[in-house]
A and B are shown apart, each in its own frame.
Chain A
Amino acid sequence: MAKKKVEDKNSENSDNTKNDGELSSTEEDPNFSDPEDFEDDISNEELLEDLLRNKPEETDGVESVIVVDGVPVVGPDRIEKLKSVINKLFTKFGNIVNEYYPVNEKGSTKGYIFLEYSSPLHAAEAVKLTNNHKLDKQHTFLVNIFTDFNKYEKIPEKWEPPTPEQYKGQGDLHYYLLEPDAYDQFCVVNGPGQSVQIWQNTQPEPTCVEDRQMWTQTYIKWSPLGTYLSTFHKQGIALWAGPNFTQYKKFSHNLVQFIDYSPCEKYLVTYSPQIDTDNPDQKRIIIWDIRTGLEKRSFDPEGPSAWPIFRWSHDDKYFARMGNEILSVYETPSFFLMDKKSLKIPGIRDFSWSPTDNIIAYWVAEDKDVPARVILLEIPNKQEIRSKNLFSVADCKIHWQKSGDYLCVKVDRYAKVRKEKNEFKYSGMYYNFEIFHMREKQIPVDSVDCKEPIQAFAWEPVGTKFSFIHGDSPNINVSFYGIRIGQAPILLKKFEKRSCNHLFWCPTGQYIVLAGVGSNGGSLEFVDTKEFLVMNSTDHFQMSDVEWDPTGRYVVTGVSVWKTKVDTGYWIWSFQGKILKRINQEKFAQLLWRPRPNTLLTDQMQKDIKKNLKKYYAQFESKDRMRQTRASKELIEKRAALMERFNEYRKSKNDEYIENKPKRLALRNNVDTDELDGDTENVEEEIVEFFIKEETILID
């Protein structure tokens, strides 16, 4: 009833208003007003649903209109051409339903136009992508939504403080460091983007923490302190952190292939070497602030160069890249060039930051009679704190020790050089190492010579030793040198005729793995460099990777599906070279230990721990033993259960077997063959003579 009433009322009302002007004085209207106690119990939405759907909204019309400023001013003769240029650009975002080109009295345009799209979404898209679009040198479009003008015109005079947003916790990003037994995590990638697992290296069996399909499209990378896990996707990089590996940030960069973290995890550099055909304006290198997720600066590198193109100082304050005869050092957080200009260094070939100080080491190639030089440059005061001239240099490699105490420059030198088709051909090569003592006054430099080609070089990360592989196959040798203050480095040990090509130092020093990596390799030697004791000499055939865990307790060797197709998997060893676990896994691709930040303990505290190791040893030993017995107990229980079940099964089968005996006898002419020697009647004894040993005794 109510419905009818209201309808009546509505029609009457409209009649009323229509008639108001002309017919007010005619017959008296019947009274249609509601009685005083009437309550309208129906909403407009319910009543006029079909009509309300078409109710015009404020967003229609004006919100779809954009204002483009910075359009070239043209006369009436060229207005059609302008329109076609504009249309070509703006119809990409949607259908333009209306356009307006204001003109002055002479008929030339005024430099701004109005375009109306069929939907406000298209308008928003157009604003997003064409604002600051450079049409040509003189004209840059400034594009706004029409309603924005209203909004900015009506900025209230009085400023109201914004209401603070609810704080959203990120959870504990460093929870994994609080693991009471200091178990480390590692992640395993299987196949190209198949699945990614995070494992906790618990004893005696590792446990799987997380297992996700299609987590990454190519590979994964941990941040340098282990806080974030980065996965690669076509659209960009995703960062995962916290106890459940929830998504922490996304960095949209199409076709990204390489990334690099700054050492303190403040910034992320993403690099897409290809030009994205869908979005050609995208920059190839973008530097992001990890915590805010904002783009800080982007670059377009010219020409191919070795990744990482940008190299960071240890404290994230500076980053640098090498250009043609220049070294560009940038500052954070401004992301501008330091002192607004690059350093001019003619002939610069390579550079590297010290891992602990703001010092850059770089080397400059020979130029006619000017010798090659290695220079240490302090940043930001750009002071050369040491330089060393070198003659007959073909190439240099800069190796910093991880603690920043020493720097080694491996110098390849030649006896003769010929120039052939713009390429230098060197002959009579010999090698030496220039060792810079960074912590001593004036930075003294020592030199170690080697006549044989160098295959690999590695510093002990903590300590005073360095090692290198030298010689030609099959006479491959490994030499260890020790450094002392005020003395030339001395040869500590030389292992001869080894089959290794890579050196992997334990991250805490002292232990080293000599490994033969590659399709024909696989040899492994675990060496304690205190007394140069070979603890174990073994192999993992065709191994492609060797990874120390961050605490130096375990070593993982892996055979990756990226390198070979058979026997892929990873093996876990103790640091002494004892095999702990062999995991053969089809499609195994990559294993990475989760890094740990540097210890917060002072040197003194670490020394104390080492001194009292005996005390801790007993505790850990008993803990390990308990774990071991628990595990072996579990195993034994499992086996006992299996055995019991199997015995039950076998008993039932045996009963059946005994039952079937008459049938068997019938089948074999009543000859009992159930036991091996059950049948005595049909056996013939045969005597076989053996010729066991022949002895010849000479009698003279």
Chain B
Amino acid sequence: MKPIMLHGHERAITQIKYNREGDLLFSASKGNKPNVWYSLNGERLGTFNGHQGAIWCIDVDWMTSKFMSGAGDNSLKLWDCQTGKEIASISTNSSVRTCNFSYSANMAAYCTDKALKHMCEMFIVDTRIVDDSLGSAEPILRIPINGPRVSSLLWGALDETLLTGHENGEIIQWDLKMGKKLNSTKKHTHLINDMQMSGNGSMFITASKDHTAKLFDSDDLQCLKTYKTERPVNSAAISPILEHVVLGGGQDAMDVTTTSARVGKFDSRFFHMVFEEEFGKVKGHFGPINSVAFHPDGKSYSSGGEDGYVRIHSFDQSYFEYAFDY
């Protein structure tokens, strides 16, 4: 089916996210207004106005009541989904690069960038009651990160652990009760761009600049599978209904101007989750793909690219009929 093209951003898309039911699709770009769309027809529901810099990360809680965005204007803002009004803003020392609501949405975690005078730090804040006071309240936990900065962030399944992916390819599991490192692994050799949970939270998939995506067990960080490509992988997602994963990426945005679009390989690439074999690709973007997400019902997926477009693709019947022999 013909994809729905969402053109509400003037700059490169940084992250896209569905809410739990999948009726809404949130998108953020290097412009300063995150958007929210109806995923069914691509109609824009609204924008969140207030940031002054590039939006690096967004998340929405499970009830679709609160929306969160971290930006290059050194702030993390929380919004009311229903009205689109800003309800809290936390100012930070440097850009907010990653943010994530916990399973219960009672807490949220975010990480700041390593900047000139400031080191990378991870914060956990209480988001049960969100109002103006949040900006001045002490965080529940504040962990300075010595060494490579955090480039992606994910809550463990039951609000007990946090997973961070770092710019050197390392993944660290944190114990929240103790505020300490629990476990770590370094299977990637370059920056981890993105991490996404599987439906039941038992596994997560990483996307790395080292041209691979990997599937990990979220309890013991064991590397289960590796999906290889020839280009940096910027984002990866796991299908909620089939044994499929989708990878988005392409030649670095920096290098694209010097090479023709053909070399870039800006395709969404589908792999079988268990056999690690590629079985399909979807063309369309004319720049690298920065974020991919499956609709929670698994019948469509979306991709957001450096070209500023979000594309919603509904799968054809043949996608569901295609099966590997085994």
- Selecting from A133-141, A362-370, A659-667, the interface stretch reads A659-667
Flag if B296 contacts A676 (CB, 8 Å). Answer: yes
Flag if A584 contacts B38 (CB, 8 Å). Answer: no
- What's the Cα separation between A682 and B20 when bound, in Å? 13
Which of B22, B297, B326 is packed against the most chain A CB atoms within 10 Å?
A: B326
Flag if B41 contacts A690 (CB, 8 Å). Answer: yes
Is A656 part of the binding interface, using a Cβ–Cβ cutoff of 8 Å? yes
Residues of A575-608 at the interface with B, using a CB-CB cut-off of 8 Å, are 584
Chain A nearest CB: distance from B158 CB in Å?
Answer: 5
* Chain A 659-700 interface mask (CB, 8 Å, partner B; 1/0): 010011001100001001000001100101010000000000
Within the complex, which residue of A567, A632, A656, A667 is in contact with B159, where a contact is CB–CB below 8 Å? Answer: A667
Is B324 part of the binding interface, using a Cβ–Cβ cutoff of 8 Å? yes
Is B49 part of the binding interface, using a Cβ–Cβ cutoff of 8 Å? no
- What's the Cα separation between A248 and B22 when bound, in Å? 69
Within the complex, which residue of A639, A646, A668, A688 is in contact with B38, where a contact is CB–CB below 8 Å? Answer: A688
Is A642 part of the binding interface, using a Cβ–Cβ cutoff of 8 Å? yes
Is A643 part of the binding interface, using a Cβ–Cβ cutoff of 8 Å? yes
* Chain A neighbourhood of B200, CB < 8 A: 653-654, 657
Interface size on A, residues (CB 8 A): 30
Chain B nearest CB: distance from A566 CB in Å?
Answer: 6
Within the complex, which residue of A663, A686, A688 is in contact with B158, where a contact is CB–CB below 8 Å? Answer: A663
Is A424 part of the binding interface, using a Cβ–Cβ cutoff of 8 Å? no
**Residue of B whose beta carbon sits closest to that of A586:** B230
Is B133 part of the binding interface, using a Cβ–Cβ cutoff of 8 Å? no
**Residue of A whose beta carbon sits closest to that of B229:** A584
**Residue of B whose beta carbon sits closest to that of A639:** B326
Is A649 part of the binding interface, using a Cβ–Cβ cutoff of 8 Å? yes
Q: B interface, how many residues as a size bin?
A: 20 to 34
Given contacts A642-B274, A673-B20, A673-B62, contact A664 B103 (CB under 8 A): yes
* Chain A neighbourhood of B259, CB < 8 A: 566
Is A352 part of the binding interface, using a Cβ–Cβ cutoff of 8 Å? no
- What's the Cα separation between A498 and B259 when bound, in Å? 23
Flag if A668 contacts B103 (CB, 8 Å). Answer: yes
**Residue of A whose beta carbon sits closest to that of B265:** A567
Flag if A657 contacts B202 (CB, 8 Å). Answer: yes
Flag if B230 contacts A643 (CB, 8 Å). Answer: no
* Chain A neighbourhood of B326, CB < 8 A: 636, 639-640, 642-643
Is A183 part of the binding interface, using a Cβ–Cβ cutoff of 8 Å? no
* Chain B neighbourhood of A688, CB < 8 A: 38, 40-41, 43
Is A541 part of the binding interface, using a Cβ–Cβ cutoff of 8 Å? yes
* Chain A neighbourhood of B157, CB < 8 A: 660
Flag if B274 contacts A541 (CB, 8 Å). Answer: no
Given contacts A584-B230, A639-B325, A676-B21, contact A566 B158 (CB under 8 A): no
- What's the Cα separation between A653 and B217 when bound, in Å? 10
Chain B nearest CB: distance from A585 CB in Å?
Answer: 10
Flag if A567 contacts B263 (CB, 8 Å). Answer: yes
Is A230 part of the binding interface, using a Cβ–Cβ cutoff of 8 Å? no
Chain B nearest CB: distance from A135 CB in Å?
Answer: 61
- What's the Cα separation between A171 and B219 when bound, in Å? 58
- What's the Cα separation between A69 and B217 when bound, in Å? 84
**Residue of A whose beta carbon sits closest to that of B64:** A682
B residues within 8 Å of A by Cβ? 20-23, 38, 40-41, 43, 62-63, 103-104, 106, 157-159, 200-203, 217, 224, 230, 251, 259, 262-263, 274-275, 296-297, 324-326
A residues within 8 Å of B by Cβ? 541-542, 566-567, 584, 632, 636, 639-640, 642-643, 646, 649-650, 653-654, 656-657, 660, 663-664, 667-668, 673, 676, 682-683, 686, 688, 690
Known: A566-B251, A642-B275. 20 other contacts (CB 8 A): A541-B262, A632-B325, A646-B224, A649-B224, A653-B200, A653-B203, A654-B202, A656-B202, A657-B202, A660-B158, A663-B158, A664-B103, A664-B158, A667-B103, A667-B106, A668-B104, A673-B20, A673-B62, A688-B40, A690-B40
Listed from nearest, the 10 A-B pairs whose CB atoms lie closest are: A667-B104, A639-B326, A653-B202, A646-B274, A657-B200, A640-B326, A642-B274, A667-B103, A643-B326, A663-B158
A/B interface sample: 25 pairs, CB < 8 A: A542-B263, A566-B251, A566-B259, A566-B263, A567-B230, A567-B263, A584-B230, A636-B326, A639-B324, A639-B325, A642-B274, A646-B224, A653-B217, A656-B202, A657-B200, A660-B158, A664-B103, A664-B158, A667-B103, A667-B159, A668-B62, A668-B104, A673-B62, A676-B21, A688-B43
